Amino acid sequence: MLGGVSMTVMQNVQARLSSIARPIFGSSAMRFLAYLGLCAAYLQGGLNKLTDFGAAIGEMNHFGVSPAPVFAVVVIALELVASAMILIGLLRWLAALGLAGFTLLATFLALRFWELPPGMERFMAANSFFEHLGLVGGFLLVAWLDLDQNSPKTTEA
């Protein structure tokens, strides 16, 4: 009996808290801020590469990506265009999948922590590796939610 009472109390608490949070966190402004936060590193990275193209080429060379100028242009375009698409809602799911795929590939290319000797550098690379996997998960959620939200709803007669 106590378990049933406890469960009812928890459901009531959850219902009250969600009724308080929903108007704030369910708003379109909050959703835009969430998209902006998720895309912030890609907007910053794309703009930095665009304004210092030599450094962008140097980054591609550092990771052994060739031809470096071509890949630098592709990365800049992907980071900026896909981020803009997510923010304005144009094929948001496709842009999110593009950034998820890019992030996954770049993470395995740039953050091979398992190749580093034990120590602080390996520790930091491992943390960054898993943080990037979190970004991939965030973009997959964006794609899933966008596809779900925009899917045709069928009604049965």
The 3-state secondary structure of 62-93 reads HCCCCCHHHHHHHHHHHHHHHHHHHHHCCCHH
Is residue 10 one of the residues assigned to a domain? no
Is residue 93 one of the residues assigned to a domain? yes
- Judge if pTM exceeds 0.85: yes
Is residue 142 one of the residues assigned to a domain? yes
- Those residues whose C-beta lies under 8 Å from the C-beta of residue 79, and which sit 6 or more positions away, are 42, 43, 45, 46, 49, 99, 102
User: In this model, does residue 109 exceed pLDDT 60?
Assistant: yes
Is residue 22 one of the residues assigned to a domain? no
Confidence of residue 152 (pLDDT cuts 50, 70, 90): confident
Distance CA 76, CA 59 (A): 12
Is residue 47 one of the residues assigned to a domain? yes
Stretch (H or E) spanning 24: helix 2-25
Is there a contact between 57 and 69 (Cβ–Cβ < 8 Å)?
yes
Longest dimension (CA), the chain: 69
Is residue 80 one of the residues assigned to a domain? yes
Q: What percent of the chain has pLDDT over 70?
A: 94
Domain encompassing residue 91: 28-149
User: In this model, does residue 154 exceed pLDDT 80?
Assistant: no
Is residue 2 one of the residues assigned to a domain? no
Is residue 156 one of the residues assigned to a domain? no
Number of domains in the chain: 1
